[in-house]
Structure 1
Amino acid sequence: MDNNLETTLNACATFTESLAASDCRHERKERIKCFLHKVAQQPVSVGDFKVGLEWFNCKEPLSFTRHLKGKIVVLDFFTYCCINCLHIIPHLRQLEKRFSVKDGVVIIGVHSAKFDNEKDSGNISAALQRYDISHPVVNDCDGILWSKLGISCWPTLLILGPNGQPLFQLVGEFEEKVLFELINVSVDYFGQRGELSSHHLPPPSATSIIRGPLLFPGKVTTVIQDDGSELIAIANSGLHSLIIASADGTIKYIIGCPDKPGLVDGDFEVARFNAPQGLSFSTPHLLYVDLRKKTVFTLVGNGLQASVNVSQSSGAAQSLSSPWDLCFIRRKVLAPQNITQPFLCICPPAPSGYRGSGEENNKPFPPATHLPASSVPPPQPPPFPMSSTLPSSPPPAASGMPPPPPPPPLSSNLSSNLLPPQTLTCSAENEAKEFIEQEILAIAMAGSHQIWVYFFQDTMWWGKEFFSAGVCANVAGSGNEANRNNAYPLSASFAQPSGLSYCPSNDELFIADSESSSVRSINMKTGKVSGVVGGSKKPDDLFSFGDVDGVGYNAKLQHPLGVAWHEESKNIFVADSYNHKIKKINLHTMTCSTYAGGGSAPDLALFNEPGGLCVSADGAKLYVADTNNHCIKVICLLTSSVAELKLLSDEQAPGISPVCTVTVPLSVNFNGKIILKVNLSLSDGIKLTEGAPQRWSLHLPGKHFNVSWRTESLNGTLDSRNAEVYITAPPAQYSGGPHEIKLTLKSFLCADGACKAVTSSLLFSVACSADAPNSVEYKANFTV
């Protein structure tokens, strides 16, 4: 790195950190202006982007000399697996609303991958669509910009001036007002100097996903209904909704509003979700969405992003931090007798290990750091704020490019999140071992790297701490991001826990710990946290990932997002998401092996970042949320065969028209025009789901498509319940026939408080002849 550039970057980082010491708004503004005046005089620039990098959300690669001169540029260094990176996306979205490109502000994402899977351009493109990132993004797959600019952790924002000079650096998560303050003052400062330009950037490239009923499904769960049939619930994350279906794929309910996220309770028609993930049934009628009353209510959470050191609270008053999975647990526990006061035991770190072994995973711990995959130095204090994801080395850099030095150490904000210590006295009657039934909801709190629990009744937890009914609290995890096992659960550390599954026979909770690429467990009797497979022996090494079948630490996973316990076989199934596989762990031998995935197209066992899975209620099948393939796949555990669960609307649902196909004969001349005027009519009592797209799709004769049959688009959306579809018939040399053309309309409709997807089709049997009209118009009326 150029010495002048390195000096300027260090000064930017140091200034941004020092700014936090001032609370006076006027003083902060003056300090920012003085610093801007200082750095604006420096003839230092970050230089241009390397030629040949892949770009997204723009038609051509961007350049500081051609496109970005005269712009304040916010470089967002991120990797799409990182929960901390996801936390700042709303801040960037608000910044885009407040300052447009015409105002002189441009946001550019620099995707510097942690995992090998994240370097793939197709996976990055899917992630940008999943998280609704619309600003330009460059794929820094080899860490060239990362190394050149001395970036050391995710996320990092580097703010550049109109001549490409570094201005400020924000490391880790931050308050939105800090970013807005820096940009506000910068726009005013450079605007007064006449250095900002209002020119536009090239328009974004057109990208789209042909959508079915599912878009990036995250998690899936099942339950047996009162009549013995199976019910499946799917977190349809990309469409901000839940789908409840029967085992044959018949959709019973669509809950929430596709394309319209929000936090709204109420009946199924008005309820709103925002990229829902975890799901868990407590009874056949309660999914924390009341299927019997057809209502949605908030159990816990106020919609605000919690900090790591948030205190416990009750119900809707509690802040949460990216809850990624849920697990309802009903278990038998000893009933404490004559408890006079709640008791809390706060313990220091104690020896622990890999399911009881005395490995190196047992030392008093500093806050978490990510260590490199190849050479792991001794643990050292973390050079980053708590709310960041830090590698101790950057992604692989270009040849000859040395790694950047670590920034100065910062203090951590470790929080035990506990109640004050009190006393507990128990009488000898406890020896009678009277049992009671305990119900809790375990929560994988990915954003704070902890496991939380919602308590449905007053509970003496692990015989030490009392929680009142309705309280949600952290029960395992220090809040530091690490792979640290410990006999004392609050001294253990997790790394973005993303999947949960309960083993009733062992009274054990299994956890997909995604950033450590491991599967871990909590003993629900004692609270001891242990490793199962994957990860590293060194707690702070979060780069020990791969795709290796093996035992314990020798097995390697890559960012697993889901786990499912299978009681009959005593196996754990794992959604090894970034390896695109389903793996199986034999709990007796601690062996992890590939079970499904890794095939080649069109093999149905070809998964794409599966995000969740569950065992069917009868134990015979495994349901997999195949996230980037936008579908649910079913694995038969007897034969290991894989099939896709086809979702269909319920033909018998009251007030909703069934799926139908009507055949219409048409005649047209060779090269003639067919104009289909689509109209959707609604019966009394039925209305469109607010905000949901009403989509049409066209299927032309496949044999000669693009050679003979021509159309502007094979799919689209209705405009005010109407659309026009234009088709051109083939020339005379393709005279055979009749030809079949299928027009399908997929509507999201609501009736009697329930919302469902309804599919209707028109099948046109088209005969082409020289004596037929040159143009045919047909009014395609769909009535539901």
Structure 2
Amino acid sequence: MTAARMTTPVRASELEGRAWLNTGGEQLDLNALRGKIVVLDFWSFCCINCLHVLDELRPLEEQYSDVLVTVGVHSPKFEHEADPDALAAAVDRYEITHPVLDDPGLKTWDAYTARAWPTLVVLDPEGYIVAHLSGEGHVQGLESLVAELVAEHEAKGTLHRGDGPYVPRPRPEGDLRFPGKVVALPDGSFMVSDTGHHRLVQLEADLTTVRGTIGSGTRGWADGPRDAARFNEPQGIAVLPQELRSQLGYDLVVADTVNHRLRGVDLGSGSVRTIAGNGVQRLLDDARARGVDPNAITEGDPLSVALSSPWDVVWSQTADALVVAMAGTHQLFSFDPRSGELAVLAGTGDEGLRDGAADSSWFAQPSGLAQAEDGTVWVADSESSALRRVRFTDDGAVAAVDSAVGLGLFDFGFRDGPAEQARLQHCLGVTVLPDGSVAVADTYNGAVRRYDPATDEVTTLTRGLAEPSDVLLDTSQDEPVLVVVETNAHRLVRVAVPKQAQTVDEGAAQMQRKRTPVAPGELELTVRFAAPSGQKLDTRWGDPTQLKVSSSPEDALAAGDGTARGLTRTLRIADGVTEGVLHITARAAACDGSPDGEIPEHAACHLYQQDWGIPFTVDPAADSSLTLELRGLD
């Protein structure tokens, strides 16, 4: 397998930021890393793709622990992510076992010309950049490249074996560790996904006394009895309707997020079984590259279907099925546990905020679900900081998706008032109140907010919470009370619903990442790609390259959007547009074979792809061209 390397290595820039984590207080620099292969992982802790890369890198880090050092460069998107305490909590929550540079000013991000989360940059033991990659799914190519660099630099005498600079942080003790979601059980107790301990915890009505646990507490995947079963960062939990529990033999459905599976749990015995998902992450672009409809689920056995980071799950009476927030593919799925049928309920798989029909709508990391009395499913759409609404027809099909609060991927803030002006910041949980209004766990604002459909206004119920990730209406009390999962405080708390909510206006904000200036009118887009050494473009069936372009807002482009072959495109910025975001996906297919020769009949072929979300601002003095690099490892 060939590794695609930069043809002209470039000396790496120094690593600059506010502070280092996971180093025991030591301030690292490139000189301290000399002699090691270094993978710079540019990430933000809100980003599901970044979380996927953390898990992809774990086996590689373990295999090459004496020669490879991963450095996580945390480059925040949201204001809250620039809080050093919030970052430290995220490093603990995701069990990151490598040094992390806190880069709130994006100094190192800019020095390495990162354009997307996640971005991976590989440095050789002499401090030269040898690869620069965007997106996830590069681990196989990285394995090849690391093996090649080990052999090369061991022969040169420039590879230094031994321990790296990672120093683990102390772990907090307690019954819960970064809990994620909660549901009320029929007997008045509560089931919590104890995400940081990789298990479920049943709490008494006082929210502190532990009645029992389900799962061994060790990261992994295993079905079986309560003490032997294993989860991997479980999140959402749904209680099945009473008539289905005896029929199916389990009572709860759990979104086992990092295992990419749905699990069934029998409350009586505590036994756990896998009911959907094969443990392989669903990658929509792989299907598109094969000419297969990525939203067509043809497998009859739900255990053969690939899922992607299911984050929450709720029973829909209208759909007569479970609705699953498939955060990894930015979609909603449905799952009928009686027949085992899985289907895409809404969302194309494109990341963003777009309302409309089920098969044309966009979501952005949906992470919280709740059903209203009229059958509407409310969605906390975290990356767009939006509260979305899914309406159904009488026969259970999705009638439409619309947004109650939120503008898009890069707009957020803390502002109450009319919904069109209100702002949230990376909301993760949602519940419906008795009057039909909706309470939202506004996670990065540390608040619980309320949206009232009757007035189309947003108010604040409470604030000062430590990353609330879920909120649940507790009907056991005389007055409406909310149970809030306060994730970074490792606890659940009750919050009364005040008769008079607060009104807060701390302003609207946009992501601090630099916008790319572009000229008004026509913009020439070019994506440069050269097949790695030993490969050639696969032209046997025509042009093997493709560009997919869209924008936020949708009407920011007057021409040039859509999907077509080729890596060049003339775009036209619409008149009157001053800023927006270009969503660009570039693909190229190459096969083993000499660039000057024929491709052998049974040659191995490889797909190279990168995705960019490029915020832009229109400037008459700017260039009328935009050039991107499509690089890959295989």
Q: Same fold, TM exceeding 0.5?
A: yes
**How far 1:263 moved relative to its partner?**
1.7
Change over 3 Å in CA distance of 1:134–1:83 after alignment to 2: same
TM alignment of 1:135-154, pairs within 5 A? 135-154=98-117
Contact 2:381 2:388 in 1 (8 A): yes
2:139 paired residue among 167, 171, 176: 176
Letter in 1 for 2:441: A
**How far 1:639 moved relative to its partner?**
6.9
**How far 1:587 moved relative to its partner?**
1.2
2:342 paired residue among 452, 455, 472: 472
**Per the alignment, in what secondary structure is the counterpart of residue 191 of structure 2?**
strand
Which residue of structure 2 lines up, in the alignment, with residue 411 of structure 1? none
In 1: Cα distance, 2:195 partner to 2:423 partner: 28
Which residue of structure 2 lines up, in the alignment, with residue 489 of structure 1? 358
In 2: Cα distance, 1:73 partner to 1:234 partner: 38
Which residue of structure 2 lines up, in the alignment, with residue 114 of structure 1? 77
In 1: Cα distance, 2:89 partner to 2:352 partner: 28
Which residue of structure 2 lines up, in the alignment, with residue 163 of structure 1? 126
Instruction: Report Cα offsets for 1:260-290 as digits up to 9, x if no partner.
Output: 1222222212221111100011146611311
Which residue of structure 1 lines up, in the alignment, with residue 432 of structure 2? 565
Which residue of structure 1 lines up, in the alignment, with residue 37 of structure 2? 72
Instruction: Report Cα offsets for 1:199-229 as digits up to 9, x if no partner.
Output: 544462x52243211100000111333xxxx
**Per the alignment, in what secondary structure is the counterpart of residue 267 of structure 1?**
coil
**Per the alignment, in what secondary structure is the counterpart of residue 201 of structure 2?**
strand
- 1:330 equivalent to 2:317? Answer yes
**How far 1:640 moved relative to its partner?**
8.9
In 1: Cα distance, 2:442 partner to 2:157 partner: 53
- 1:306 equivalent to 2:282? Answer yes
**How far 1:114 moved relative to its partner?**
0.4
- 1:584 equivalent to 2:450? Answer yes
- 1:63 equivalent to 2:22? Answer no
**Per the alignment, in what secondary structure is the counterpart of residue 584 of structure 1?**
strand
In 2: Cα distance, 1:269 partner to 1:64 partner: 45
Give identity over the alignment, percent: 34
In 1: Cα distance, 2:471 partner to 2:37 partner: 44
Which residue of structure 2 lines up, in the alignment, with residue 247 of structure 1? 205
Change over 3 Å in CA distance of 1:528–1:98 after alignment to 2: same
In 2: Cα distance, 1:203 partner to 1:262 partner: 23
Change over 3 Å in CA distance of 1:95–1:573 after alignment to 2: same
Change over 3 Å in CA distance of 1:298–1:203 after alignment to 2: closer
Letter in 2 for 1:46: A
In 1: Cα distance, 2:60 partner to 2:296 partner: 29
Which residue of structure 2 lines up, in the alignment, with residue 549 of structure 1? 416
**Per the alignment, in what secondary structure is the counterpart of residue 88 of structure 1?**
helix
In 2: Cα distance, 1:117 partner to 1:253 partner: 34
1:189 paired residue among 130, 135, 152: 152
**Per the alignment, in what secondary structure is the counterpart of residue 118 of structure 1?**
helix
**Per the alignment, in what secondary structure is the counterpart of residue 115 of structure 2?**
coil
Instruction: Report Cα offsets for 1:211-258 as digits up to 9, x if no partner.
Output: 211100000111333xxxx12110110111111223134433210112
Which residue of structure 1 lines up, in the alignment, with residue 173 of structure 2? 211
Which residue of structure 1 lines up, in the alignment, with residue 584 of structure 2? none
**How far 1:194 moved relative to its partner?**
1.7
**Per the alignment, in what secondary structure is the counterpart of residue 557 of structure 1?**
coil
Which residue of structure 1 lines up, in the alignment, with residue 304 of structure 2? 317
Change over 3 Å in CA distance of 1:456–1:162 after alignment to 2: closer
**How far 1:172 moved relative to its partner?**
0.3
In 2: Cα distance, 1:592 partner to 1:523 partner: 20
In 1: Cα distance, 2:444 partner to 2:454 partner: 26
- 1:613 equivalent to 2:471? Answer yes
TM alignment of 1:222-371, pairs within 5 A? 222-225=184-187, 230-249=188-207, 250-258=209-217, 260-283=218-241, 286-288=251-253, 289-308=265-284, 309=294, 311-312=296-297, 313=299, 314-331=301-318
TM alignment of 1:661-680, pairs within 5 A? none
Change over 3 Å in CA distance of 1:200–1:301 after alignment to 2: closer
Instruction: Report Cα offsets for 1:463-497 as digits up to 9, x if no partner.
Output: xxxxxx211111100000010001x2011010000
2:383 paired residue among 515, 522, 545: 515
**How far 1:184 moved relative to its partner?**
1.1
- Matched positions, count: 465
C-alpha RMSD of matched pairs (Å): 2.0
Contact 1:223 1:283 in 2 (8 A): no
Letter in 1 for 2:402: G
**How far 1:169 moved relative to its partner?**
1.3
Contact 1:533 1:551 in 2 (8 A): no
Which residue of structure 2 lines up, in the alignment, with residue 87 of structure 1? 52
- 1:440 equivalent to 2:311? Answer no
Letter in 2 for 1:627: T
In 2: Cα distance, 1:306 partner to 1:243 partner: 28
**Per the alignment, in what secondary structure is the counterpart of residue 39 of structure 1?**
coil
**Per the alignment, in what secondary structure is the counterpart of residue 447 of structure 1?**
helix
In 2: Cα distance, 1:269 partner to 1:174 partner: 33
Contact 1:221 1:614 in 2 (8 A): yes
Which residue of structure 2 lines up, in the alignment, with residue 535 of structure 1? 406
Change over 3 Å in CA distance of 1:144–1:511 after alignment to 2: same
In 1: Cα distance, 2:216 partner to 2:162 partner: 37
**How far 1:166 moved relative to its partner?**
1.1
Unaligned 5+ residue runs, structure 2? Answer: 246-250, 254-264, 285-293, 502-634
- 1:47 equivalent to 2:13? Answer yes
**How far 1:80 moved relative to its partner?**
0.6
Which residue of structure 2 lines up, in the alignment, with residue 501 of structure 1? 370
**Per the alignment, in what secondary structure is the counterpart of residue 42 of structure 2?**
strand
2:94 paired residue among 131, 134, 139: 131
